[in-house]
Structure formats: C-alpha cells, structure tokens
Structure 1
Amino acid sequence: MSTTVTTTRTSFELQNWSEAGGITNPTSSARQEKTIANWEQEAHSSQQLDAVDGGFPAWRVLIGGFVFEALLWGFPVSFGVFQDYYSTLPQFAGSKNNIALIGAIAQGSCYLGAPFSAALTKRFPRYQRQIIWLAWPLCIGGLVAASYANTIGGLIATQGIMYGVGFITLTYPIISMINEYWIARKGMAFGLISAASGASGAVMPFIIQALLARYGYKTTLRAIAVAMAVLTGPLLPVFKGRLPPPEHSQAAKTNWSFVHKPLFYVYGLSTLLYGLGFFFPLLHLPSYATSLGLSATQGALLLSIMSIAQVLGQFFFGYLSDRNISVGVLCSICMIVSTIVVFSAWGAAKALPLLVIFTIVYGFFASAFSTMRVAMGKAVSDDLSSVVATYSVFVFLQGIGNILAGPLSAVLLAHTVTKSEYGIERYKNMIIFTGACMFGSAAVIAIWWCRPSIVRKLVSALPRG
C-alpha cells in the first residue's frame, strides 16, 4: 500500500545518506534536502509516493533485481565452465584461441557498456519498463540462438554479443528504480545486488558442468534459456519506478559537474587499479590448485567458497557504507587486507588449507570494494541525479581490468612450475602484480588524505568542457 513521504522524512534520510558517504558538510546536506524536497513536491504534489528504505514496493523491486542479477549475470560469470568444455570439442579445435572471446565479450560489454546503458536510462526515463521488456528477450534469445551455433564465431555473436548487450541494456533501468526506492539504506541495497552474482556463483558452475557432461552444450543452453525465462519472466511486472518521469526534458539530464572534482579522480584511479588486479584469482585459482596436484573438483570448490565469502563481504560492507563511516576508510580496509592476503597466503600456498584461507579472506574483502561505488558517488556529487551516472563510470573503470585480464595473464604467467618457489614459480609475477594493484588502489586514497593539494593541482590542469 502506498504511503505519502513527507519532506521532513526525506530530509532526515538525506542527512544520513550524506554522513554514510563520509560527507559532513551541512551546506551539502542542505542542498541535497532542498533538491529532493523541491523535486518531489513540485512534480508529484498531487500524487502519493511509496515509502523509501522499506515497505513492500521497495523490497519487491530490490528482490526482483537480486534475482535478475543472480541469474542473468551469474551465467556469464560462470563462462569458465563453458570455456573448458568448448576447448574439448573437435569441431572447435581450430578456433581454441578465440573461445575465451565469448566470455570476454559477454562480461566486458556488461562493464564497458555501463555508461551507455545509464545514459539511455537517464535520457528516456519514461520508457524504463519498456527497455527492460525489450532487452530481456534479447538475453534469453541469445542463449537459444547460441544453442544452434556450430562455430565459435556463431557463439561469439550469440552467447557473447547478443546476450551481453541484452543484459547491460536491462540492468540500468533496474538500478535506477532501486536507486529511487533506497535512500538512507542505499549502500545495503546495492551491496545486496552486488552479492547476487556471488550467491549464484556458489552453485551455478556445478549445475552447468553437470549439464554439459551429460547433455552437451546445445541442450544445456536451451535448458538454461528455459530456466531463465521461467525464473525471471514472472518478475518483469515488479519493476516499477517510485517517481513518475519528469515533466520537463531538462529534468532528465545528468549533472556531470562531478567530473571536475578531485575526489572523483581519486576514486576513479583507485577503482581502475583495483580492477586491474581483482580478476586474476577468480580466473586462475582453479589452475593454481591443479598445478599443486589438487583435483579439478577442489579447484571448483575454491571458487564456490570465494563466492560465498563475496556475498557476506559485499552485504556487510554495503551495510557499513550506510553508517557514519568514511567511504575512503572502508575502501582502504578492503584493499590493505587484500594486499596482505595476496602476498602472504596466495604466494605461499602449497596445499589446500592455506588456499582456503586465501579464498575466504580475499573473497570477503576484495569483492567488497565494488560495493563502494554508490558511496563514492555520493561523496563526489551532491546531485541525486548523478548517482547512477557515477556508478556506471566506476563499473566501466573496473571493467577495463576485466578486459585486460586475459592479455595480461599471457604476459605474467611463467612456463615452469616449481612447487618449492614463491607462487610455485608459474604464478609468481601474477601474484606480485595483483598485490601491487591492491596496494596501489589503497595508496591513491592515502595520497588524497595526506597531500590533497597534489591531486587538486593535477585535476585543475585538466581541460574543462
């Protein structure tokens, strides 16, 4: 049942929201209060609005978004299982080097396409639901079409491009709706969404592996398409925005003034460095385990454990970002702990127990950094309309690391395995690079704390549009 949200209630929420991002400037808080109060009062004075930060409509959209993220994003994240299977098929023997492109394009388009999907969502707020309804069958259709592909090129076009474009197109209308319903508890809400892929990642690879082994890729893709349609299709009607679309076209424009703020570049560079190192353990932990003589099942189990740790870490740090804790402090904790565990536990691991410890700690803290995107956005902009824009930019920057992980792996991996050496020799350079990226991510924030004048000088030298 809809309830009227008063200006007093909204002002209180926004004050807490500013504090959650580490912003204590009363002028900034007052400006946010005035912005949303005027917006809602002027545009929707004759309408009742659903309550924020709770209530059935808010939870309905959040849970729907969680299921979509868990299933539709969990599928491309689990592509490693398909990659292993495709590489064993005789008909793909001549295109083995291109198999990885399928997953890289599906995942990469979801990262690098984020700003474009966010811009489309912002430009046409009146058609957000229609965008979701049009993009959803593109995802499902991509899987069905892939089941009829007999070449790697066909799989790239369907399982890669078609699926990836469909997913990223529907993602940001959903994110925009969640953003409208969750204000003071926004960090918790987006932490839950970020944790969704971890929840599915704990079980989906095992299901896909079993289906591929028994039925082959064509039947598996069709079965997954049917399952996706059955599990997500009934949820399409739950996606409704809290605020009616703006009456004036200029209200739909994004305020990009945050690009002139030094703190935006601090968090942007920190996110870029984080992304450059983050994906290596996810990609190479199973092969590291098999190099130690562990079974393929134990390698898959490590990824499953990491996914569970990711869920806990992202939800916990998302919750903390709603409290009166600086986002810079939270990001630094994530990166410092990740640096330590990469250099110590991963590099020194020679048996399963230490690998499990690394998997749990890295999954909990390193994955949690990505939930800070919303808090970063709140810290760099007072304008509520910029939250989705800043979020998409930080996703894009992290995605650069996802795209470069494959080429960098070829450079960093050695050809020999020596179990007595650090990182069993083969993974030594990769471990050092990963730890250095985590450390660099924390160091950028530390420089801002210690010598902000350096960052301000660099930003002031940038050309302004």
Structure 2
Amino acid sequence: MLRILSASSTPQLPQLSQLNGHASSLEKRIWVLLGFPMTYGIFQEYYTTHWTFKGNPSAAGVIGTTSNGVIYLSMPLLFAALSRRWAHHRRASAYAGLVLTSISYLLSSWSTAAWQLVLTQGVLAALGSALLYSPTTLTLSESYATHNRAVALAVVLSAKNITGSVCPFLINYLLSHHGFRTTMRIWAGLSGALALAAVFLMPMGSTTQTRPFRARKIPWTFLTHRTFWIYVVAIALQSSGYGLPQTYLNTYAHDVAHASAATSTLLITLFNAPGILSSSLFGLLSDNKHVRLSASTVVAISAFASGLSAFLLWGIAGSGSHSMALLILFSIIYGCFAGAYSATWGGVLKEMEKEAGERNEAIDSGMVYGLFNGARGVGFVSGGLVGVQLVKVGGEHVLGKFGYGTIYGPLIVYVGLSTCMGGWSVFLKMGRLFRW
C-alpha cells in the first residue's frame, strides 16, 4: 500500500487556524537570526564605502549569497538526519545552531581581512542558522494536514519578509551611528536572544522522541521521477539570480541613482515587504482551493513576473530623474513575485505525491523539500560568484543605455534571464499537451 511519508502521517493533527499564530511567532524569531543574508545589501553598501579590511573589496559581494547558499545547501543533509533517525536530537541541533551563529557574528566584529568576513558571516553563521532552522521547520511542518501544507509553508515563509522589512532600518541606524564592529556585537546579542526564545517555543511531537523500533528508511524512488529534476533545475536557476538584487540594489541606487542612505535602505524594505502577503497568496494558489491552477503554472507566474520586472524596470532605471521611481516599482514587483517563489513548492510537493500515488510508491515530502532547499543553495552560491564577475564585465563592456549601460548591465540581464528560467517547467507541460 502506498505510504506518503509527510505531514499527513502525524496523528491527531490540529487545524491550520489553531497553529498559524504559534508558527508565525516561532518563525519570526528564527528569521531574525537568518535575517542577515536578507538584509545584506545594507552591509554591502557600507563595506563599499568604508572598506578597511585586507584583501580585495570584491569579496564583500559574495558574503550575502554565500550565506544563503550555505544555509540552503546544508538543509538536505540536516533534513535527512533529523527527519527520522535522529529526530530526537532536533532541540540539541537548534541549540547548537543558536550558539554557533551568535559566536560567528561576534567573532566577525574583530575581522581585519576579507577572508575572515567570508568565513564568519558567510559560512559559519550560515551553518549555525541552518542547524536552527531545519529542526524547527520539520517540527512545524509535521503539525499540519496535507491539504493545508502549502498554505502553512507559505505563512512560515512570509515571516522572513517581516524580518526583511524591519531589519534594514535597524542595521542602517546601527552602522551609521555605531560602526561595523559594534553593530555586529549588538546583532549577535539580539539574534541570539530571540533565537533562544524560539527554541523554547519549539513544539515537541512524537516524531522527536526515541522510538522503540527501527526508524523507517527514507524512500529514494522520487529521484527517478522526471518531475523532481525539472523543478530542481528550475529552483537552482531562479535562485542564482534571486539573491543578486538583495546584494547589489543598494549599491546601484547609491552609485547610479545617487540616492541617499535612507532611500537605499527603503529599497531593501520594499523588496521584502510585499512577500508578507504574496507568499500566503501563492500558497493558496498552490493548494488549489479556489482557483484550479497546476503547480507549474503557479511557479511560472512567480518566475516570469519577477524576471520581466528586472528587464523592464531595473534595466531602464539609469541616472535620470525617474530612476528612483523605477527602482521603487521594481523592488515592489520583484519582491512580490520572486519573494513568493519558494511558497509555490507546496503545490510541487502535492504534484509529486500524486505521481508517487499513481506508481504506488512511497515518498518523504520532508526530504524532497530539503532537497529543493539544497538546489536553492546551489543557485545562491553560483549566483554570488557569477555576480562578482558580471560587475567586472560591466565595467569593460557597455550594453546600451539606462541601467544596461552601467557596470551593472550584465548583472541586470542575468537576473532577468535566470529568474524567468525558474518557470521553464510550464513549457515542458505545454510541450506534452501539444505533443511538441
């Protein structure tokens, strides 16, 4: 008999409405700790104008995307370990992550070289964040019924946008009035305290207790499914471009549009704020409760809308009088659609579970979700490395006028193309429909 090893296997599940408040409260505290890569554009601009470290200043351009990459790349391993065999170590993992992240941010305040910033902020702090995020996400996702899972995951993901909307102003104030080193020490203390509160709120269900019988093995048959690899490639492509505006938009506004520090900070807030609502909206679309759309269609809406906004808004925002208006509009639209991309994965999981059911196969949705995050990590890391090179190329070759004619021109084109490619699955579905 088919066994879907997902949230639906947890007995006596509470209703979605009873859990939203608890999940949101817990995840907002978790995302404060993970909020560093989301608001890294503020640090990027500060490093650019106040570079006092040994080494190439271009290293600052890869810290934010490296941090995102390490977080997501480590999730497949952590989800696999904490999903079954070592589920009873979830709280210990969360505590270890809390300590590692806080210490890493603290140590970064004494950095004197670029490689030390990359190590502490981009690698160690990110690894600690993953150790904290993975067990809490697994525990929460097991508390929801299958038919509500997409909405539940979307509500959880919207919490990161709340953090990304508030923290830029806090970080900008601290950097402006207290400098980099004091800011990192305050951030280490603040994030550590809030994360500690989150661990205490972490529910402990039956899956986190030691069982007297052997834990079930993870079924890997989904790796032979074409659908899985289609979405893995799409996620990696979209993620390689998604993180670049978060890193470079602040610097672009300062260098090209000659915006003030406060206005540049506003762009990061506008980048994250729309996702608070759009993540939940795309979660509803993915659950197919009111509007019947396939998973590939929902993914394509998010991907194409965000990619076109990069081409049509960021690309024509040069140094003219209307440049800031275009950048603000780009931040809102791109943040709305690109920020909700991962909220579409609930529908993808449902599609994969349906395929597994048709083949009478078992599938561990938690493990699939972890691998999707791993693909996102591959995209973030590769995008960060590519972004640095694209800015260098932009300084040597002019692509045209407006934003395309600046050193950020190749970067803008890459963001548009990669995010659009995140929706390529819809063309494969259309090909099958019309037998192309």
Alignment of 1:295-444 (within 5 A): 295-324=260-289, 325-350=293-318, 351-381=323-353, 382=356, 386-413=364-391, 414-415=394-395, 421-426=401-406, 427-444=408-425
- 2:93/2:131 contact within 8 Å kept: yes
- The verdict on how the C-alpha distance between 1:152 and 1:283 changes in structure 2, with shifts beyond 3 A counting, is closer
Where does the alignment leave 5 or more consecutive residues of structure 2 unmatched? Answer: none
- 1:191/1:315 contact within 8 Å kept: yes
Shift of 1:449: 3.5
- Structure 2 match to 1:283: 247
- 1:133/1:236 contact within 8 Å kept: yes
- Structure 1 match to 2:144: 182
Q: Which moved more, 1:369-378 or 1:406-415?
A: 406-415
Where does the alignment leave 5 or more consecutive residues of structure 1 unmatched? Answer: 1-29, 42-48, 456-465
Shift of 1:294: 3.1
TM-score (norm 1): 0.80
Shift of 1:452: 7.5
- Structure 2 match to 1:131: 93
- The verdict on how the C-alpha distance between 1:115 and 1:212 changes in structure 2, with shifts beyond 3 A counting, is same
Shift of 1:220: 1.8
- The verdict on how the C-alpha distance between 1:208 and 1:447 changes in structure 2, with shifts beyond 3 A counting, is same
Shift of 1:416: 7.0
- 2:14/2:144 contact within 8 Å kept: no
Paired with 2:39 and 2:162, the residues of 1 have a C-alpha distance of 12
Instruction: State the AA in 2 paired with 1:142.
Output: S
Shift of 1:160: 3.2
Instruction: State the AA in 1 paired with 2:244.
Output: F
Higher relative contact order (Cα pairs below 8 Å, separated by 6+ residues): 2
Alignment of 1:171-250 (within 5 A): 171-183=133-145, 184-244=147-207, 245=209, 247=211, 250=214
- Structure 1 match to 2:234: 270
Instruction: State the AA in 2 paired with 1:376.
Output: V
Shift of 1:67: 1.8
Partner SS for 1:176: helix
Q: CA RMSD in A?
A: 3.1
The structure 2 residue matched to 1:448, chosen from 419, 425, 429, is 429
- Structure 1 match to 2:130: 168
Alignment of 1:145-156 (within 5 A): 145-156=107-118
- The verdict on how the C-alpha distance between 1:362 and 1:105 changes in structure 2, with shifts beyond 3 A counting, is closer
Partner SS for 2:34: helix
Shift of 1:115: 0.8
Paired with 2:247 and 2:286, the residues of 1 have a C-alpha distance of 28
Instruction: State the AA in 2 paired with 1:421.
Output: K
- 1:377/1:386 contact within 8 Å kept: no
Work out the number of aligned pairs and report it: 416
Shift of 1:258: 0.9
- The verdict on how the C-alpha distance between 1:243 and 1:309 changes in structure 2, with shifts beyond 3 A counting, is same
Q: 1:313-350, CA deviations, whole angstroms, 9 ceiling, x for partnerless residues?
A: 11211232223432112111112222332222222234
Q: 1:429-456, CA deviations, whole angstroms, 9 ceiling, x for partnerless residues?
A: 333332222333323332134228999x
